[in-house]
Amino acid sequence: MFTTDQLIFLATNVFSTTSLLIVVGLVLLDLVRRGLLREVVWLVVGTVVMAITVLTLKDYFAVARPADALITLDDYAFPSGHATSATFLAMLLGWYGYKILALPKLWLFFGLVTICLLVGWSRLYLQVHTVDQVLAGFVLGVIIGSALWWQLQNKWWQKTSK
């Protein structure tokens, strides 16, 4: 059985940058296999925008991590990159699971929200973020994820005037 500490470290590592890139890469491969090249482009753009936005905001605000953190990290704390990545990835997987794989919406929603909350809690438990930093990450992930979802759903460029 897992201890609380082991679960926390697992949750925080599942949504590391490397894990995010692996999951996005797998989704990209499947979208290419299905011939959904427009979706591939928007997914790449959304992921790059998310990463650049988090790094830019961290450098702009330059908020130090809490002094009593249980693990040592060298970068700034605001906004939480893990919370942003988890929320962005949850929205991506929600779209992919529902629209591409036709999975039940309710199960996807609760599963992905639970994962996001677990990641946020892990960042607080490890004391590498404060509540406002995690909430800012969630909000940022929702904003960027919503923009990606809208782009994936919208086919505005295909509309022609008669």
pLDDT of residue 47: 92
**pLDDT value for 155:** 62
Alpha-carbon span 84 to 58, nearest angstrom: 12
Q: Each residue of 59-70: pLDDT tens digit? A: 999 877 878 876
Strands, E assignment, 93-142: none
Supply the pLDDT for residue 20.
82
Report the predicted TM-score, pTM, of the whole model to 2 decimal places.
0.83
> What pLDDT score does 87 carry?
92
| Residue ranges in the chain whose pLDDT is less than 50 | 161-162
For 14-40, b where at least 16 C-beta lie within 10 A, e where not — what string? bbeeeebeebbeebbeebeeeebeebb
Angle (nearest 5°) at CA 103 between 24 and 31:
35
Question: Looking at residue 96, what DSSP letter applies?
Answer: I
pLDDT, residue 49, reads: 94
Max CA pair span of the chain: 64
* pLDDT score, position 122: 85
- How buried is residue 81: exposed, middle or buried, by Cβ count under 10 Å (0-12/13-18/19+)? buried
pLDDT (0 to 100) of residue 29: 95
pLDDT for 159 equals: 54
Give the span between the Cα atoms of 54 and 158, in whole angstroms.
32
What is the rounded end-to-end Cα distance, in angstroms, of the chain?
64
